[in-house]
Structures are given as structure tokens and as C-alpha cells.
Amino acid sequence: MAATAFPLYSNNPNASRFLSGYVSPKDVFLGTDVNQQMYCHLLCGLRHFDLIDGIRAPYAAGLIKAFALLETHWKKLSEDLENGVPSSEVSDSAMRQSVIQILGGLDQICLRESD
């Protein structure tokens, strides 16, 4: 478990306050695969870029890794944003479903098809 997710695992009454400063859903923080988490954090951040006023990382190395992932996977991230669903590489079902809700999921695809 990531140290930053501790308030979400415990019965902490401040869990919702913890999440209020982030654009990623709770299931992304609770995921077990760091690479999938980072990919989903990037997707949610790109989807809600207008709500972001800062980027937080417990260590600078994590921030560098996030920018490297953005740099190497930008095409896939763009496709996922356009399609409204994360890449099939995101296999954690709870994380995947919560990110689909953020991205628009099937509704996004249907809107594009109707245009």
C-alpha cells in the first residue's frame, strides 16, 4: 500500500477530504500496480486538466517517472481519452471502472459515432 493511500484504507473520517484535492478516483489510489495507477492518474489529470492547480508526489523520482510515462505513452493516452476507456493494460477492474466513469466510457464513443 502506498503511504499516501493510508487515509483511504483506515476508517479515517477525513478520507473524503483527502480525495477532494485530487482528480483521480479512490480506486486509483487503492490499486496495487504502481504502473497502472500512474497511467490512470495521468488519464484523469489529462481529462480534468482545467481543475488542476498543482501536482503532488511524495518523491521527486515518482514525478520524473510520471513525466517519462507521459512522454513515452502520449499516443495511447490520447486514444484512451478519445475513446473514453483506458487501455486494456489497465487490468485492475475497480480502477478501470472508476476511470471509465471519469473519461465518459461508452457515452463518449456513442457521442462520437452520432456526429
Distance of CA 6 to the CA centre of its chain: 18
Residue 54's pLDDT is what? 85
Residue in the structure block whose three cell numbers are 486514444 = 79
| Alpha-helical regions (H) of the chain | 6-9, 15-19, 26-29, 34-47, 60-83, 93-103, 105-114
Q: How confident is the model at residue 11 (pLDDT cuts 50, 70, 90)?
A: low
Residue 97 has pLDDT above 90, yes or no: yes
User: Contact at 8 Å (CB) between 79 and 73?
Assistant: no
C-alpha cell at 98: 472508476
Residue 36's pLDDT is what? 96
Model confidence pLDDT, tens digit, residues 19-43: 556 789 989 988 999 999 999 999 9
Q: For residue 109, count other CB atoms closer than 10 A to its CB.
A: 14
Query: Which pTM value belongs to this model?
Result: 0.78
Model confidence pLDDT, tens digit, residues 71-89: 999 999 999 999 999 999 9
Residue 5 has pLDDT above 60, yes or no: no
Residue 57's pLDDT is what? 81
Q: Inter-axis angle of helices 60-83 and 34-47, to 10 degrees?
A: 60
24, HSE (Cβ side, Cα atoms, 13 Å): 22
